[in-house]
Amino acid sequence: MTPIPPSKAPSVALMTLIAMASPLALNLFVPAMPDAARELQTDVGVIQLSFTAYLFTLAFGQLLSGPLADHLGRRPILLAGLALHTLGSLLAALAPDVVMLIAGRVLQALGGSAAMVLARTIIIDIYGREGAAGRMGYIVMAIAIAQSIAPTVGGYLNLWAGWNAIFYVSLCMGAVALLVAALQLPETCHERSESLRIKPVIERYAQVFQSAGYLGYALSTTFIAAAFYMFVGSAPYIVDRLGGNSAQFGTWFLAVSLAFMAGSFLSTRLARRASIDQVVLAGNLTSLTGAVCLLLFALGGALNFMTLFLPMALVTFGRGLSQPNAQSAAISCSTTSAATASGLMGFIQLLTGALIAQLMPLLLGEGVLPIAVCICLAPLAALGSHAFAVNRQRQQLAETR
C-alpha cells in the first residue's frame, strides 16, 4: 500500500467531525419527541419509531458499510454516506408528517453509519494500528462529549425554536463535513477486495460465535446497554408526565452522561489493579444497585426529576465500568477475527436497543413501574451472562490442559 503524504492526509479534526455526525443526530432529537408527537398529531408509539428506526438502520448500516468500502473504496462510500445523512436531515427538518420524519431519520442513520465506520477505518489506513491509537482517542473523546451535550442542546433548541430546528443543526454539520471531505479527502484504500461474497463473511461470524466466552461477554455488555436504551426510550415521556419540558430533560440528562464518562475513566484506572472480570462484575453490581434504587422509588410513588435521573446515573456509572472491559474480553475471545467480533457485537447492541426502545412506550401505558422493573432485570441478566462467559472460558482452559 502506498502511504499518503502527511500534507495530503485528512486532518483528525475532519475525521472527528465526520464520526460525530451520527451520534449527535441520534441524541439531539430525543428530548423533543413528546412535543413532536403532539404537533404531528400522532401517538407515542409512532413517534418512537423515529428513534427505533434510527438505531435499527444504524445497526445494519454498519454491517454493510465496511464490505462496500473494502470493495469500492473509502472515499465514494463516505461521500455518499454524508450526502444521505445531509439529505435525511433536510427531510426531517421539513417533515409535514410523521412518515416523512421517520424516512428522514432512516436516511440520516444510513448515511451516518458509513461515516462512523469509515472515520475510524481511514485513520487506521493512514497511520496504521500503532499511529492511530492516540488519534483515535481524540475521536472517541469527541463523540462521548457530543453524546453528553446533545440532549441538552436539543432540549433547549426545541423549547426556543421548535423540534424542526434540531435537524438544521445536523443539516449544517453534515453539509460542512461533506464539503470539506469532497475537497480534502483522498482515497486511502489501495488494496480493495475483489468481490462482495457473503459466504466467507457468514463463516467468520459463525466462527466468532463459537469462540469460548464471546457470547456471554457480548450479551453482558448488551444487557447493560439495554438498561440505558430502556431509559432513553421512556424518560422523555416520563418527564413530560411529571410536568417538565425538553430543556429540563436535557439538563438532568447531563448527570447520566457525565456518570458514564466518569465510570469509563475509572475503568481505565482499575484495569491496573484488578482483572477484567473483577471490573465487569463490579460495574454490573453497581448498575444493579442504581436500578434497584429506581425500582424502590417507583414502588413508593416518589418519582421526581432527582429520583428518576440520579439512580439512572448510578446505572450508567456501572455501565462505564463494565462495558469497556466486557467489550475487550469479547473481542479477545476471537484471536483470528477481532474486527468481525467487534462489528458483530456493535450490531447485536444496536439491534437490541432498537427493539427495546420501541417496546418502552407500550409499557409506559401501564405506568412507570414496568419500566423500572425492566431496567432492574437488565443488570441481573448481565450478571448471568458474565458468569456464563467466565464458566465457558474455565471449561476451555480445563480441556486444553
pLDDT per residue as tens, the chain (401 positions): 445 554 555 667 788 888 888 888 988 998 999 999 999 999 888 898 898 899 889 888 877 877 787 778 888 989 999 999 999 999 999 999 999 999 999 999 999 888 887 877 787 777 765 555 556 656 766 777 777 788 889 999 999 999 999 999 999 999 999 999 898 888 776 666 555 667 777 777 777 777 778 888 889 989 998 999 899 888 998 998 899 999 999 899 999 988 988 888 888 788 778 888 898 999 999 999 999 999 999 999 889 999 999 999 999 999 988 887 887 788 777 665 555 676 678 788 888 888 888 888 788 878 889 999 999 999 999 999 999 988 887 887 777 66
Nearest alpha-carbon partner for 326 in 277, 262, 387, 286? 277
Does any domain span residue 15? yes
Same domain, 269 and 131: no
Amino acid identity at 313: A
Examine the domain organization and report whether 143 and 42 are in the same domain: yes
Of 137, 172, 196, the last residue of a domain is 196
Q: How far lies 244's CA from each of 75, 96, 236, 386, in Å?
A: 44, 26, 9, 38
**Which domain range does residue 231 map to?**
200-401
Whether 239 is in a domain gets the answer: yes
Both 154 and 279 in one domain: the answer is no
Q: Is the same domain home to 179 and 88?
A: yes
Q: In this predicted structure, what is the pLDDT of residue 378?
A: 95
Same domain, 24 and 62: yes
Tell me the CATH number at 302.
1.20.1250.20
Same domain? For 223 and 362 the reply is yes
Indicate if 87 and 161 belong to the same structural domain.
Answer: yes
Q: What is the DSSP string of 260-320?
A: HHHHHHHHHHHTTTS-HHHHHHHHHHHHHHHHHHHHHHHHTT---HHHHHHHHHHHHHHHH
Choose the final residue of a domain: 167, 196, 225: 196
Asked if residue 1 is part of any domain, the answer here is no
Domain count, the chain: 2
**249 and 329 co-located in one domain:** yes
CB 376: neighbour CB atoms within 10 A?
A: 22
**Domain membership flag for residue 169:** yes
Positive or negative, the CA dihedral 69, 184, 186, 147 is negative
DSSP letters of 66-134? HHHHHHH-HHHHHHHHHHHHHHHHHHHHT-SSHHHHHHHHHHHHHHHHHHHHHHHHHHHHHHHHHHHHH
Cell digits of residue 250: 436535557
CA 14, 18, 21, 24 torsion-angle sign = negative
User: Is the domain of 148 the same as that of 223?
Assistant: no
Confidence (pLDDT) at 4: 54
**What is the per-residue pLDDT for 10?**
61
- Position 277 in a domain: yes
6-10 own/partner pairs: CB under 8 Å, 24+ apart: 8/186, 9/126, 9/186, 10/122, 10/126, 10/181, 10/184, 10/185, 10/186
Domain boundary residue, one of 130, 162, 196:
196
Tell me what pLDDT residue 179 has: 94
274 and 394 assigned to the same domain? yes
Terminal Cα distance for the chain, rounded: 42
The count of other CB atoms within 10 Å of the CB of residue 185 is 22
Q: Which of 374, 351, 339 is nearest to 61 (CA)?
A: 351
Residues 141 and 258 in one domain: no
Residue 308's pLDDT is 94
Q: Exposed, middle or buried by CB within 10 Å (0-12, 13-18, 19+), for 272?
A: exposed
List, in order, residues 6 or more apart from 205 with CB less than 8 Å away. 340, 344
In this prediction, residue 1 carries a pLDDT of 46
**2 falls within a domain:** no
pLDDT value, residue 209: 73
Does 255 lie in the same domain as 131? no
Nearest to 161 by CA among 151, 153, 149: 153
